[in-house]
Chain A
Amino acid sequence: MTWSAPVALAVVIGMAPLIPGIAAKTKARLAGRRGPPVLQLYRDLGRLWHKGVVYSRVTTWVFRMGPVVGVVTAGLAACLLPLDGRGALITFSGDFVAFAYLLALGRFALVLAALDTGSSFEGMGASREVTVASFAEPALFLAFVALVLATDSLSLGGALGGPLVQAWPAATPALAMVTASLFLVLLAEGARVPVDDPATHLELTMIHEVMVLDHSGPDLAMILFGHAVKMTLFAALLIGAIFPRASLPVLPAIGILVAGLVVVAVAVGIVESVMARLRLTHVPQFLTAASALAALGVILLLVA
């Protein structure tokens, strides 16, 4: 671990609120609107952080704990990714299990916080959240398996590091499928179209948004920030898979990461513009397709 890892971490976390902003901007532009400023989320966060809070009388400490855990797990998960392309802050054999399960812990906390309100809407959102996640998880893990197979390394630092550079030419179709799968997972985990629609205003159709209806003030800020970090992490994971940067010097590596994040955000925005949201009952099929893609990648790698 060198100085580059904390720097990259700081860059990613710092950039996180930008990503939804870019996506929203892209979407607005493509629709011919001006859209909110790219930095809108920073502003929202700042404002929320300085507000007071209103709590439902039904809630307990679980409700307040949810956002905290959500942010902390997202941050810790970020420590596990080799954001600078060469090594993570914390790396160990099988650390991507920790990556996924840390994010799962965050989700668990938020879902419980939602259920703590006793609201039927938030219950509905929580239910959908866990449903979607359960279909996304196998795809994510299969993608990891493919990376492990391609690189023969059991840690994220290795799987997204040097060996992947050599693996790309040898197994281009397989890795392409894996990255495609990762992109689909990103859409699901980031609560974006076609799985979820961050811009909807009808609670009955929401997933992630409706889960946090009752949060306010700093709690809501933490949720929004944590969610942005999480989405950024998936984007960073995707970039890591597409552009293994172990051989590049540090600054270009981080530069590519930043550029890549922007590109992914734009891509998300484009998807949101050109696709309609899926019916909820079709989400499982969509994510199963993601799993199938990743599984195909694994099969290709196994056969090779």
Chain B
Amino acid sequence: MIPFFAGLATIVVAGLAPAVFRRRPARAARAFRGLFVLGAAAAAWPAARVLAGGAAVEVRLRAAVPGGDWVFGIDPLAAFFLIAILLVGAASACYGAAYLAPEAGRRPVAVVHLLTALEVAFLAVLVAARSVIPFLIAWEMMAVLAYFLVVFESDRDEVRRAGLIYLVSTHTGTLALIAMFAFWGQPGGTLTFDALAAAAPVGAGAALIFTLALFGFGFKAGLVPLHFWLPGAHAAAPTHVSALMSGVLIKMGIYGLLRVTQLAGAPPAWWGWLVLCLGLASGVLGVLWALTQHDLKRLLAYHSVENIGIILIGLGVGALGARFDAPVLAAIGFGGAVLHTLNHALFKSLLFLGAGAVQRATGTRVIDRLGGLARRMPLTWTAFLIGSAAIVGLPPLNGFVSEWLVYQGLLRSAHLAPARAALFAVAGLALIGALALACFAKVGGAVFLGQARTAPAREGGEARAGLLVPMFALAAACVAIGGAPVVVVGPALRVGATIAGGGAAGAAAAVGPALGRISLLALLLVTLAWGLWWWRERLLARRIRGAAETWGCGYARPDPRMQYTAASFAAPLAAAYGPVAGVEVVREPDRFHTRPRELVLDHLAIPFWGRVRGWAVKLHPIQHGRLWAYILYLLGTLLLLLLYLALQTGGARP
């Protein structure tokens, strides 16, 4: 554990560097990046060892507050998440150093770097925590630091609003977790995870714990319908923070669910089904709503909802497997969930970083104001394209591997009679994949391809190296996992097995042989495509290669504004899903446009709060300012209490 904590300390020191070298920005950025990467590597070292098959490590500290020792440890589950946190954290932070440089002087940039470093450190502490109090502390620090990062541009009203909604949501979730731990820890009073595991209740108690866990952690994960805070917060935050949030912060909800499942034992069957159904709902609705967005970052944020859905599908299958004593199925389900968590962390942060580069270059995130960036930002586009293909789940990239593993879990439920209905989720997952394809075709096409639709989009140039290097590091990870899934699937299955309580060998035997074939497929795909391309180039080298305007079906003077817009691209799908898609069509005499609506936020959450507010306001006349009535309250209270006394005593005259 020493390299772990030393690494985290180094990360925090890195966070201080920009404040220390305030006068010399170049040196500050170098020191920040260097120390951050160094610290992340050091902290990741023990995690990598654990994942490679080493023994889990643990350290116990005597606590100065009640609740038992403060235990920190790295077991496979923690190690897996740690790798994701540190990888994405380092990439986002390094990106942030370059991304925020233009804002230095106008906004407190050094503070953001420090907060980012602390955020990453607390995320790492969170997954290493093995007792309740440090867990909750790290949980809340993570959430609150993220809030401060989200409201970086607090001079904008919508940023403050999004920040508030985020903060309220996360706090509500935290309260649910407090309830869960308070309930769970009540018999012993010792709040280490070991003690909780030993005191894991059964029956109604377990049901309560799992319900609260689903609510509390689900809020963080952003599953539908608890996702309503997520798009706003992600859109409001500085881009590298969005990447960090979407990549790892919301995954802490998944981590929490997995950890609780590990500690509390097999969840009830209804819980597994519920998680599965919520996963399907999140996946389908998330991607559908993503499709209708006009803001690039909001779109990506909704894709996080979608991917959380996919992860939850895996988790639900794992839970069902664990419930019905099928450890292999459980290990594959949980393994698929954690692997998709890692993969989503990689490609989603990559996509956010790409979106940030676009925003820096053009000053806008509105998809329909962009276009044609592939020419001016070829490298950004390449990285973004890799991320897009990965998130859609296409081979030969990492998204395919984890979606395939989740499919494996679903299909293997065919062997388990009580869980066979899970097979229907396959259709949902397929739908999610196809809709994601539609969505990223829209994004890639509208933002990078075709022609620039507005002047700002015409002016953007290629992103700076400081932005590109982190993006390509993440892209490389996506490609590597896609090409050689054997590196990560094994550890993922082992993690799944620790949650399922066995089944590692069976799961490895079940899916292991396929991994080589997937690598082969990837290799063939790349080789054949490259070969065909090469052949074609050779063929065409000797022929006429004309250049002309795009064929306008007879129309002679095409104009960039005549291009198909992203909104139109999504229109047939939005129309097919009707009101569920939540697209509001605005018809004005001279304009016609669509506006995506936040169905849950605007039609559920805000009205609910309005109702609460209405009830509260009805009470307000109590405080009407008239003293005599105030004394009357006092008198009335006294009389009521005396009545209570009389009833309790019942005339006990000696």
Direct contact of A and B (CB under 8 A): yes
Does B525 make an interface contact (CB < 8 A)?
yes
Instruction: Give the total of A residues in contact with B, Cβ under 8 Å.
Output: 85
Complex CA–CA separation, A9 to B518 (angstroms): 19
Q: Contact flags (1/0) for B437-456 with A, using CB distance below 8 Å? A: 11011101110011100000
Query: A134 touching B573 by the CB < 8 A rule?
Result: yes
Given contacts A72-B532, A105-B394, contact A120 B564 (CB under 8 A): yes
Q: In the complex, which residues of chain A have a beta carbon less than 8 angstroms from the beta carbon of B414?
A: 145, 148-149, 152
Does B647 make an interface contact (CB < 8 A)?
no
Complex CA–CA separation, A101 to B445 (angstroms): 20
Q: Which stretch (A12-20, A25-33, A109-117, A265-273) binds chain B?
A: A109-117
Does B50 make an interface contact (CB < 8 A)?
no
Query: B408 touching A101 by the CB < 8 A rule?
Result: no
Query: A98 touching B421 by the CB < 8 A rule?
Result: no
Query: B426 touching A55 by the CB < 8 A rule?
Result: no
Does A123 make an interface contact (CB < 8 A)?
yes
B34 to chain A, nearest CB (A): 35
Complex CA–CA separation, A131 to B375 (angstroms): 27
Query: A115 touching B445 by the CB < 8 A rule?
Result: yes
Query: A105 touching B389 by the CB < 8 A rule?
Result: yes
Does A218 make an interface contact (CB < 8 A)?
yes
CB-based nearest A residue for B431: A138
Q: Contact flags (1/0) for B407-427 with A, using CB distance below 8 Å? A: 110011011000011011011
Given contacts A73-B525, A131-B438, A138-B427, contact A53 B546 (CB under 8 A): yes
Q: In the complex, which residues of chain A have a beta carbon less than 8 angstroms from the beta carbon of B544?
A: 52-53
Query: A127 touching B572 by the CB < 8 A rule?
Result: yes
Q: In the complex, which residues of chain A have a beta carbon less than 8 angstroms from the beta carbon of B573?
A: 130-131, 134
CB-based nearest B residue for A213: B551
CB-based nearest A residue for B438: A130
Query: A97 touching B449 by the CB < 8 A rule?
Result: no
Q: Which stretch (A87-95, A160-168, A234-242) binds chain B?
A: A87-95
Does A183 make an interface contact (CB < 8 A)?
no
Q: Which stretch (A56-64, A171-179, A248-256) binds chain B?
A: A56-64
Query: A302 touching B438 by the CB < 8 A rule?
Result: no
Tell me the B538-572 residues at the A interface (CB within 8 Å): 539-540, 543-553, 558, 560, 562-564, 568-572
Instruction: Give the total of B residues in contact with A, Cβ under 8 Å.
Output: 85
Complex CA–CA separation, A257 to B546 (angstroms): 42
CB-based nearest B residue for A299: B424
Query: A112 touching B444 by the CB < 8 A rule?
Result: yes
Query: A108 touching B441 by the CB < 8 A rule?
Result: yes
Chain B positions within 8 Å of A, measured between CB atoms, are 371-372, 374-375, 378, 385, 389, 392-395, 400, 403-404, 407-408, 411-412, 414-415, 420-421, 423-424, 426-431, 433-435, 437-438, 440-442, 444-446, 449-451, 510-511, 513-514, 517-518, 520-521, 524-525, 528-529, 532-533, 536, 539-540, 543-553, 558, 560, 562-564, 568-573, 575-576
B449 to chain A, nearest CB (A): 4
Query: B430 touching A100 by the CB < 8 A rule?
Result: yes
Q: In the complex, which residues of chain A have a beta carbon less than 8 angstroms from the beta carbon of B449?
A: 60, 62, 112, 115-116, 118
CB-based nearest A residue for B409: A94
Given contacts A116-B450, A295-B424, A302-B421, contact A134 B389 (CB under 8 A): no
Does A4 make an interface contact (CB < 8 A)?
no
Main secondary structure of the interface of B (DSSP, over half): helix
Does A44 make an interface contact (CB < 8 A)?
no
Q: A55, A127, A133, A295: which has the most chain B beta carbons within 10 Å?
A: A127
Query: B437 touching A127 by the CB < 8 A rule?
Result: no
Given contacts A118-B371, A120-B563, contact A141 B545 (CB under 8 A): no
Given contacts A53-B544, A108-B437, A302-B421, contact A90 B445 (CB under 8 A): no
Complex CA–CA separation, A131 to B415 (angstroms): 33
Does A280 make an interface contact (CB < 8 A)?
yes
Q: In the complex, which residues of chain B have a beta carbon less than 8 angstroms from the beta carbon of A118?
A: 371-372, 449-451, 550, 558, 560, 563
Query: A108 touching B394 by the CB < 8 A rule?
Result: yes
Query: B423 touching A149 by the CB < 8 A rule?
Result: yes
Does A119 make an interface contact (CB < 8 A)?
yes
Query: B395 touching A102 by the CB < 8 A rule?
Result: yes
Q: In the complex, which residues of chain A have a beta carbon less than 8 angstroms from the beta carbon of B529?
A: 65, 68-69, 72
Query: A93 touching B558 by the CB < 8 A rule?
Result: no
Given known contacts A136-B434, A137-B430, what 11 new A-B pairs fall within 8 Å (CB)? Answer: A52-B544, A72-B532, A112-B445, A120-B563, A127-B438, A127-B564, A127-B572, A130-B441, A141-B426, A141-B427, A281-B575
Given contacts A127-B572, A138-B431, contact A111 B532 (CB under 8 A): no
A234 to chain B, nearest CB (A): 15
Query: A154 touching B412 by the CB < 8 A rule?
Result: yes
CB-based nearest B residue for A93: B514
Complex CA–CA separation, A172 to B545 (angstroms): 55
Query: A217 touching B540 by the CB < 8 A rule?
Result: yes
Q: In the complex, which residues of chain A have a beta carbon less than 8 angstroms from the beta carbon of B552?
A: 119, 121
Does A54 make an interface contact (CB < 8 A)?
yes
Tell me the A146-201 residues at the B interface (CB within 8 Å): 148-149, 152, 154
Query: B426 touching A111 by the CB < 8 A rule?
Result: no
Selected contact of B553 from candidates A71, A115, A121, CB within 8 Å: A121
Complex CA–CA separation, A302 to B416 (angstroms): 11
Does A260 make an interface contact (CB < 8 A)?
no
Does A232 make an interface contact (CB < 8 A)?
no
Complex CA–CA separation, A123 to B532 (angstroms): 26
Q: In the complex, which residues of chain A have a beta carbon less than 8 angstroms from the beta carbon of B420?
A: 149, 302
Selected contact of B514 from candidates A62, A95, A203, CB within 8 Å: A95
Complex CA–CA separation, A214 to B430 (angstroms): 30
Query: B525 touching A138 by the CB < 8 A rule?
Result: no
Query: B517 touching A90 by the CB < 8 A rule?
Result: yes
Given contacts A94-B408, A100-B430, A133-B437, contact A119 B558 (CB under 8 A): yes
CB-based nearest B residue for A107: B437
Query: B434 touching A104 by the CB < 8 A rule?
Result: yes
CB-based nearest B residue for A69: B529
Q: List 7 A-B contacts (CB under 8 A).
A: A60-B449, A97-B400, A104-B393, A127-B570, A131-B576, A152-B414, A218-B536
B12 to chain A, nearest CB (A): 42
Does A284 make an interface contact (CB < 8 A)?
yes
Complex CA–CA separation, A64 to B570 (angstroms): 24
Query: B528 touching A75 by the CB < 8 A rule?
Result: yes
Complex CA–CA separation, A105 to B388 (angstroms): 11
Query: B395 touching A105 by the CB < 8 A rule?
Result: yes
CB-based nearest A residue for B550: A56
Selected contact of B451 from candidates A49, A58, A107, A141, CB within 8 Å: A58
